[in-house]
A and B are shown apart, each in its own frame.
Chain A
Amino acid sequence: MNMIAPATPLLDVRNLVVPHRKDGHAFNAVDDVSFSLQPGETLGLVGESGCGKSTLARAIMGLYPSSSGNISFKGADITTKGSSLFRPRRSRDITRGLQMVFQDPLLSLNPRATIGRIVEEPLIVNGVRNRAARRAKVGEMLTRVGLGPDVMDRLPHEFSGGQRQRIGIARALSLTPELIICDEPVSALDLSVQAQVLNLLNDLQVDLKLSYLFISHDIAVLRYMASRVIVMYLGKIVEAGPADVLWNAARHPYTKALIAAAPGDPTAGPRARPNKVTLGDIPSPVDRPHGCSFHTRCALRQSRCVETEPALRRVGPGHFVACHFA
């Protein structure tokens, strides 16, 4: 891995459009999104429900087809196009390099398969023929995530939420990936367990030189994890930049509102929250407002915002904002 000047980004998404259907209405859940992810970094992706962050993750994983734009991984085009009826399989090289950790650890583990089987499956599918070698690898991965090889014969429902998420991580690790897409990996977990999983993801990143695309709605978790952050709103990127810049000097009114709305730091001492400026509810992604899609909730709105959609423009080193007035 070239740490000094990475020539090709690990993941590169260009003008991606992912169509989706909701209650019979077709709309673009991800609309003209471009970004790239460098080796070794943790790119945070934040936004509220309906912003398309999970759809984007699944499109990158090839679970949803895109209607235009492309996705490349280590320079190779991996865009899934057309109908999902007969999805072509990705090459083993791509599959091994790009893995995903899901939000709900219970739903992402086959309830009828043993833990050993669940972690072993990626190896079977990817051509590791030697059974003993597979078992050894499974044991190693389970130990790596802090569970140990003796859990292999048990079933998912015998574990707590945090342990199940560790199993999901072990499965993603078994192919020794370079990039892991983490789709809300701790949101379904209890608070006391969240820290365990975040620490584990951290340790793994250091030990295995992993990169993460870390998706979350939780500002505090992202503040901790991400070195660079993308903010999405109704399918589009509204702001992107280095974490310190974004958290301390956000330019887009939506990013500011998100940061302000997040619950306070309970250790910061006594404070009663002042009432917020009313934002109103998120419009449905199905009928996205014209012009700037945030204009229905924006305090800075002018007639221009209703008429023309602001383009994502550079406002500082690595810092991009899509707002007429930011």
Chain B
Amino acid sequence: MNIHTSLFDEQILEVENLQLGRSGSRAFSLVNGVSFSLKAGKTLALVGESGSGKSLTALSVLRLLPEPSVRVLGGSIRFEGRDLLSLNGPDLRDVRGGGIAMIFQEPLSALNPVMSIGNQLREAVRAHEKLDRKATDKRVIELLELVRMPDPERVAREFPHRLSGGMRQRVLIAMAMAGRPRVLIADEPTTALDVTVQAEVLDTLRGLQDKFGLAILLITHDLGLVADYASDVAVMYAGRIVEHGPVHEVLGSPFHPYTRGLLNARPHAGQIACGGVRPRLTEITGSVPNPLDMPSGCPFWPRCPVATGACQLRRPSLSPVGINHAAACFKAEALT
């Protein structure tokens, strides 16, 4: 795996000024001016609530958007120097699964219910390399071992419904690894799983990352997972990145009031009730804005505890607040 080591610290996926939405008579924008890059061996977490645009951003990288209702309206996505948005047909297939693989939230719906795990993995292997039957079977077992599947020979003969949620997700990771990808996009990979299984699946992903120098784009709503598994984080709100930086910077000294709100909204160690009166949680008032009815200025101002008149008039752009750390807030300076 020397090729991968040489790619360390190089940006293999660069998304620049991405715009997603619908043009034409009923135009609206769902993702606006999103930029980020992925480095080999690192995990970037894209964090946000429902409607923040995090999943659409992930889908757009593999050109899996639900077109024509949502399409790329602007920006660029570059993978190892190639412009993904201009790829077509075989070249695109080459990147999908080959260079970039993706796993989804609901593993059961991503597997064919009437085909054994082994056959589905065989198909995945054949899609990427020409091997004889024996070598294919060997590779299938190898992939299952790679994701720490217990008893891989038996699992290969099973059908998806016979496996637990965690095992299904590991089968999908194995499938994703069949093409030896350099980038793995994981869209809420553990949201449908139980906590004990969640940790195992994410540990498996991290193991693969260490072994192959995989760059991971982790889409999640759980800041706890971000703290545990990501190296960098981009916080999205209403289709824009509002704060971006190394995990310990963003979570340790958040600048954007939304990031602060999210961190405080979660009950944490100091608030255990133990029978007494519980301290109030800091809530973010209101709810996420409708993309058809976006507030003017900063999209967060109606819910922001520190908003001023200026926030309603102009939209703050992402500007540096520390080393590699940026936030889109006029008050970011004042908050320190």
Contacts and interface: CB of A to CB of B under 8 A. Distances in A.
The short answer to whether A and B are in direct contact, CB under 8 Å, is yes
B267 A269 contact: no
B227 A242 contact: no
Nearest to A47: B194
DSSP class of B's interface residues: helix, strand, loop or mixed? helix
B224 A266 contact: yes
Contacts of B264: 195, 267
A94 interface: no
Given A265-B227, A267-B251, A220 B281 contact: no
Contacts of B248: 269-270
A281 B167 contact: yes
Contacts of B49: 190-192
B198 interface: yes
B273 A227 contact: yes
Contacts of A41: 275
A269 B195 contact: no
A249 to B, nearest CB: 13
A211 to B, nearest CB: 13
Contacts, number: 171
Given A225-B273, A242-B274, A195 B283 contact: yes
Given A220-B266, A220-B267, A273-B229, A227 B251 contact: no
A269 B252 contact: yes
Interface residues of B, number: 56
B194 A227 contact: no
B228 A272 contact: yes
Contact of B224 (A193, A264, A280, A297): A264
Contact of A270 (B247, B273, B280): B247
Contacts of A260: 199
B261 A192 contact: yes
Interface residues of A, number: 57
Contacts of A244: 272, 274
B265 A224 contact: no
A202 interface: yes
A194 interface: yes
A191 B288 CA distance: 11
B146 interface: no
A276 B199 contact: yes
Of B164, B165, B196, most buried by chain A (CB within 10 Å of CB) is B196
Contacts of A221: 267
Interface in A238-294: 242-244, 247, 257-258, 260-273, 275-276, 278-282, 284
Contact of A224 (B221, B252, B278, B285): B278
Contacts of B281: 195, 198-199, 224
Nearest to B290: A160
Contacts of A199: 280-281, 283
Q: Lowest 4 CB-CB distances: which A-B pairs, in order?
A: A263-B224, A224-B267, A270-B248, A273-B228
21 contacts: A41-B275, A49-B194, A191-B223, A192-B261, A192-B287, A198-B267, A199-B283, A220-B224, A220-B268, A223-B269, A225-B267, A225-B273, A227-B274, A242-B274, A243-B275, A258-B195, A266-B227, A276-B199, A278-B148, A280-B150, A281-B166
